[in-house]
Amino acid sequence: MDFTFTDDQLTFREAISRFLMTEAAPELLREIWETDVGRSADLRGKIAEQGLTALSVPEAFGGLGMNDIAWSLMTQELGYYAIPDSLADTAYVAAGLLNRLADDHPVKASLLPRIADGSVRLAIGHPVNPLVADAALAEWLILAHGDDVHVVPRAQVDVQASASIDASRRLSQVSWAPSPDTLLVAGDAGRGLWAETLNRGALSVAGQLLGLAQRMLDLSVDYVAQRKQFGKPIGSFQAVKHHLADVASKIEFAKPVLYRAAHALAKGEVRADVYVSQARLACCDASWLAARQGIQVHGAMGYTWEVDLQMFMKRAWSLDPGWGDRALHKSRVAAYVLGDNARLGPGSTFEE
């Protein structure tokens, strides 16, 4: 079995990383955060030009036709550069939901090409999320009414802003009235679609948390190499080295868990829920440790606006409860591990 990423996936990741390195520098992000909407239409347009919004849209609708495995790399880049946008919700999670509809469905035919070219913003109100990201800025909202899936125009939704510790996370409570005109999928089909959407949303958050963890580690390593005490860089002290080595270990152990979950979701495996929840927990642990140790080595100044660490730390904290809190994901893993038919051990990682 080939466990490596394809050349196309790796080349695309490298191109996106180089692009975001120049177009999403921390000083530019601060300027965007301080605007009324907290979003940059110019940045989003440039990201679309790079092809990121088209990544998982089928070729028949103007996209690149890649799957969850490619997104496990891309979400890490969105996290690493703390992109102040719910781009993954539109281009990955919502696109995945729409991909499950029949090709001749009018909503699919209408929205997927616009997702690909970056001209539409969607917000998703999954039942596990009490608040909806970017609801006020979205053109359409995908919302739940019981098991039913509705696609609702922004004009029919009442939005009440809710504060977040992360200034770039624009969260809202939404109120709306379902109607036959907004119904997309009903009943059992809707329940299955919401379950798959939860997995995709949780995997999206997991990838972003892993990228955030890596960025916080890199910032901490740079800082301890420059800050001196007793005439020496503090990075030369053994205790500091151990703190950061613990973070690096967490990140490296979380990566294969994330990629295994992406593979399970892309292949429609029956235990995809378990793999996604395991990845969500592993990546969350890595980001929390990276934030905690980052503050440890920066000191209290790491919380201040002038220091870059606070941007990534706050993003990790605000993403932590998104798409299912720890209790939900722990319960999904526990239900499988403690079940009678659990297939555990290295010989059961992949089916033949």
pLDDT in tens, 69-105: 999 999 999 999 999 778 899 999 999 999 999 988 9
* Structural domain of 310: 189-348
pLDDT in tens, 40-61: 989 999 999 999 999 999 999 9
CATH of the domain at 337: 1.20.140.10
Is 331 within a domain? yes
Please report whether residue 328 resides in a domain.
yes
CA distances (Å), origin 318, targets 16, 44, 311: 24, 21, 11
Any domain includes 10: no
Of 18-22, 100-104, 155-159, 223-227, least confident by mean pLDDT is: 223-227
Residue 275 lies in a domain: yes
| Number of domains making up the chain | 1
Kindly state the DSSP code that residue 92 receives in the 8-state scheme: I
d(CA 248, CA 271): 28
Kindly write down the DSSP assignment for every residue of 15-64, as one continuous string: HHHHHHHHHS-HHHHHHHHTSSS---HHHHHHHHHTTGGGTTS-GGGTS-
Whether 202 is covered by a domain: the verdict is: yes
* Residue at 166 is within a domain: no
- Range 341-345 average pLDDT: 76
For the segment 149-163, the average pLDDT, to the nearest whole number, is 95
The pair of structure tokens assigned to 285 is 């642990």
Q: Which of 331, 349, 352, 330 is nearest to 264 (CA)?
A: 349
Q: What is the pLDDT of residues 212-221, one digit of tens each?
A: 999 999 999 8
Residue 115 has pLDDT above 80, yes or no: yes
pTM (2 decimals)? 0.92
Q: What is the DSSP letter of 324?
A: S
Whether residue 329 is contained in a domain is answered as: yes
How far is 337 from 57, CA to CA, in rounded Å? 35
- In whole angstroms, how large is the CA radius of gyration of the chain? 20
Structural domain includes residue 98: no
